[in-house]
Amino acid sequence: MSAFERKEDKKKEKIIEEFEELEFQIFRMKENMKEIAKRNQILGIELTKEDKWVIVYSMDDGNVCRIMLHDCDTPYRGTWDFSIHAQYKDNHMIHIDDIRGVENRGYGSVCMKFLKEHALEQNVNIIKGDIVERDWEHLDRLVHFYKKHNFQVSLLENEKYGEIYWRPAV
């Protein structure tokens, strides 16, 4: 067998492996969506920056809004892998209370995209939030995240406090 044939065989093996992984993710997605839909509203599915499929869903009782995400690598057991917790402050504003989950997987960007879409569907045109002292350890990353998502960020360095503000472009 020539080096070229061995290289071609490895390419085929890689394609088969990727196909089987994708097939498994889709099967898991289907099963997870059935379970998630029993208690939550599914907003969509999305591909992360790591090329992993995730299910995005919400819980919204008119006072509290949660945008949650579950990966398609693991079975859904009633808990999210990432979430943005927010409250309606009035008919036109949502206040982000907390962002929870694993960092640097693109989950925050996926959830933020869906939070903005959800807000607009609810005729909410302002999203606000606070940056508090516990956030100061990862302030650079947090400011980068919010600015990437078109939030205005204002910080009071001495008080270790800040605010974020988003309004859709007109």
Task: Give the amino acid at 21.
Answer: E
Q: Where are the domains of the chain?
A: 3-124
Residue 155 pLDDT more than 90?
yes
Task: Give the strand order in the sheet containing 82-90.
Answer: 41-47, 53-60, 64-71, 82-90, 93-101, 126-131, 161-166, 152-156
Mean pLDDT, residues 5-25: 82
- In this predicted structure, what is the pLDDT of residue 161? 95
The values of phi and psi at residue 131, to 5°, are -110, 120
**Minimal CA–CA distance to 99: which of 51, 149, 62?**
149
Distance CA 33, CA 45 (A): 10
pLDDT classification of 4: cutoffs 50, 70, 90:
low
Distance CA 130, CA 13 (A): 49
pLDDT classification of 33: cutoffs 50, 70, 90:
very high
Cα 87 to Cα 18, 34, 51, 100, 112: the distances in Å are: 40, 27, 31, 15, 14
What's the pLDDT tens digit per position in 94-105? 999 999 998 889
pTM metric for this prediction: 0.85
- In this predicted structure, what is the pLDDT of residue 94? 97
